[in-house]
Chains A and B, each alone.
Chain A
Amino acid sequence: MGKATIIPFGPQHPVLPEPLHLDLVVEDETVIDCIPQIGFVHRGLEKLVETRDYNQFIYVAERICGICAMGHSLGYAETVEELMGVEVPRRAEYLRVIWHELSRIHSHLLWLGLAADAFGFESMFMHCWRLRERVLDIFEKTTGGRVILSVVSVGGVVRDMDRATLTWICDVLDGIKSDYDAIVKTLLTDTSIKNRTVGVGAISREKAIELSMVGPFARASDVAYDVRMFGRGAYGDLADFQPIVDAQGDCYARVKVRCLEVVQSIEIIKELASKIPEGDIAVKVKGSPVAGAQASSVLEQPRGECYYYARGNGSKYLERMRMRTPTSQNLAGMTVALKGCDLADVNMIILTIDPCISCTER
């Protein structure tokens, strides 16, 4: 038994662009305890709701995080609609889900690229980002922006897509899928990757439920929870939706779940594109939320369940807006997953959990 040493990890670390700091208590080469610390990028965006009215705040919500931009604007809009009792047109719901699923593909591809880079698999990193660029191209053509889309408004969406565009999107996704299948097959069958991920940072199903984990992190531990299965919005019209789960709960399972979710998202988009109804894309929202009225909402973001809360004060400005992001829910799970692992595996475990610190701190 060696002496316990504390090794700091982050806030600047090559494997993670986000400012996450960990104090790793290490004995020999084994991590025996870990204390996460955040708080380097707190911007007070929730306080900004006092200076922007509910239509303007959607652009602030979008800027909480670059990768989850679409998800945050969608979740915010859904909550305010719930607060004011607004019924969104069906076509708008379909379009929102199509964009949201596209953003899931782009988020997972970005993550896959970073993971491959952390393995030292440079060519796969290039391929993943090449495919991601095609998704960003779809965004650029349909919404006018690459990452910050500004396409959702309270009461609907601001841009429509015609049939030709929808067919084009399906064609592009088919093109992505053939390349993507080859990448995933390589990733999941490669021996060196298996050596680094199988059995590393495992979390049992009981532990995952106990720690109330969400998103792919929980689903890799066999917790079949995905907000999409509630069938809210256009998800209700899907013929069949089953959350993707894996029983192992280790790093390999988490990689696998994310890889399969991209394929699932492609299927969802194709199905919705064929079913999309005609009609309006937005309703006019008038008036302001009643004083003291409150509403909450949950949404499945690329990283897991995100909770939104809004309270009105009778004016156009909301009294309080709050989002609890998936990463803040997974921080405790991360500390547990890191306990007992090898020091060299720390970055692999953190990367497969895919923390988004900017979201967590807002």
Chain B
Amino acid sequence: MGSFKLGGMTFGSLFKKPETLLYPAQVKTPYPHQKGHIANKVDECILCGMCARVCPCHCITVDKKAHTWEIDPFSCILCGSCVRSCPTTCLLMEPASTAVAARKHVIDLVVPDKKAASEA
């Protein structure tokens, strides 16, 4: 008897909306708080290096002298430790995931020198 019920369920699937997406053509819209990639609002960054210290995979490099903030999105595990530890809330977890790439690369951001700007 049970098989008929399952058969009914399977047969019913013929008329329902498909459960899957045709991936490259259709892309699932991410949920608002999904873990996609780490973004940095460089204007608010104070280069304290807290994110680099808490990162479990050492994928963030902060260079205070050169005013750069660097992240390797291909070794980042999206744990969100850096976002939680950031004192200025300049780090954000964006829902869009990092695109597939043929070659690994590093995202290098230049943080504006606030001191120099105010002096000038």
Direct chain A–B contact by Cβ atoms under 8 Å: yes
User: Does B5 interact with chain A (Cβ within 8 Å)?
Assistant: yes
Secondary structure call for the A interface:
helix
Assess the A179–B31 pair: CB atoms within 8 A: no
Residues of A within 8 A of B10 (CB): 123, 127
Q: Mark B12-45, 1 if CB is under 8 A from A, else 0.
A: 0000000100000000000101110000000000
* Contacts A145-B35, A186-B3 supplied; 20 other A-B pairs, CB < 8 Å: A56-B54, A56-B56, A57-B56, A59-B77, A60-B56, A123-B10, A127-B9, A127-B10, A130-B19, A140-B34, A144-B33, A144-B34, A144-B80, A150-B79, A179-B9, A185-B2, A186-B2, A186-B6, A187-B2, A190-B2
Q: A52-B56, A60-B56, A127-B10 are in contact. Are A145 and B78 (CB under 8 A)?
A: yes
Q: Mark B58-99, 1 if CB is under 8 A from A, else 0.
A: 000000000000000000011111001000000001000000
Which of A55, A60, A127, A159 is B6 in contact with, Cβ under 8 Å? A127
Residues of A within 8 A of B35 (CB): 144-145, 150
User: Does B1 interact with chain A (Cβ within 8 Å)?
Assistant: yes
Residues of B within 8 A of A59 (CB): 56-57, 77, 79
Residues of A within 8 A of B9 (CB): 127, 179, 182-183
Number of interface residues of B (CB under 8 A): 23
Identity of the chain B residue whose Cβ is nearest the Cβ of A149 in the assembled complex:
B35
* The 8 residue pairs across chains A and B that have the minimum distance between CB atoms: A186-B2, A56-B56, A144-B35, A186-B6, A189-B2, A150-B79, A185-B2, A141-B31
Assess the A189–B6 pair: CB atoms within 8 A: no
In A90-143, the 8 Å CB interface with B consists of: 123-124, 127, 130, 133, 140-141
Q: In the complex the two chains form, what is the Cα distance from A182 to B3 in whole Å?
A: 9
What are 10 A-B residue pairs whose CB atoms fall within 8 Å in the complex?
A: A56-B54, A60-B56, A127-B6, A127-B9, A133-B19, A140-B34, A144-B34, A182-B9, A185-B2, A189-B1
Residues of A within 8 A of B19 (CB): 130, 133
Residues of B within 8 A of A144 (CB): 31, 33-35, 78, 80, 93
The minimal Cβ–Cβ distance linking B72 to chain A, given in whole angstroms, is 16
Assess the A182–B6 pair: CB atoms within 8 A: yes
Assess the A158–B84 pair: CB atoms within 8 A: yes
Q: In the complex the two chains form, what is the Cα distance from A130 to B2 in whole Å?
A: 19
Q: In the complex the two chains form, what is the Cα distance from A159 to B93 in whole Å?
A: 13
In A165-219, the 8 Å CB interface with B consists of: 179, 182-183, 185-190
Secondary structure call for the B interface:
loop
Q: In the complex the two chains form, what is the Cα distance from A231 to B81 in whole Å?
A: 31
Which of A57, A150, A186 is B80 in contact with, Cβ under 8 Å? A150
Please indicate which of the listed interface residues B3, B77, B78 has the most CB atoms of chain A within 10 Å of its own CB.
B3
Residues of B within 8 A of A56 (CB): 54-56, 81
Residues of A within 8 A of B79 (CB): 59, 150
Q: In the complex the two chains form, what is the Cα distance from A133 to B3 in whole Å?
A: 23
Identity of the chain A residue whose Cβ is nearest the Cβ of B83 in the assembled complex:
A158
Q: In the complex the two chains form, what is the Cα distance from A59 to B79 in whole Å?
A: 7
The minimal Cβ–Cβ distance linking A113 to chain B, given in whole angstroms, is 13
Q: In the complex the two chains form, what is the Cα distance from A140 to B1 in whole Å?
A: 36
Assess the B6–A123 pair: CB atoms within 8 A: yes
Which of A141, A145, A158, A186 is B5 in contact with, Cβ under 8 Å? A186
Q: In the complex the two chains form, what is the Cα distance from A185 to B4 in whole Å?
A: 11
Residues of B within 8 A of A57 (CB): 56
Q: In the complex the two chains form, what is the Cα distance from A183 to B35 in whole Å?
A: 33
Identity of the chain A residue whose Cβ is nearest the Cβ of B55 in the assembled complex:
A56
Q: In the complex the two chains form, what is the Cα distance from A137 to B48 in whole Å?
A: 36
Please indicate which of the listed interface residues B9, B34, B54, B55 has the most CB atoms of chain A within 10 Å of its own CB.
B9
Q: Mark A49-76, 1 if CB is under 8 A from B, else 0.
A: 0001001110110000000000000000
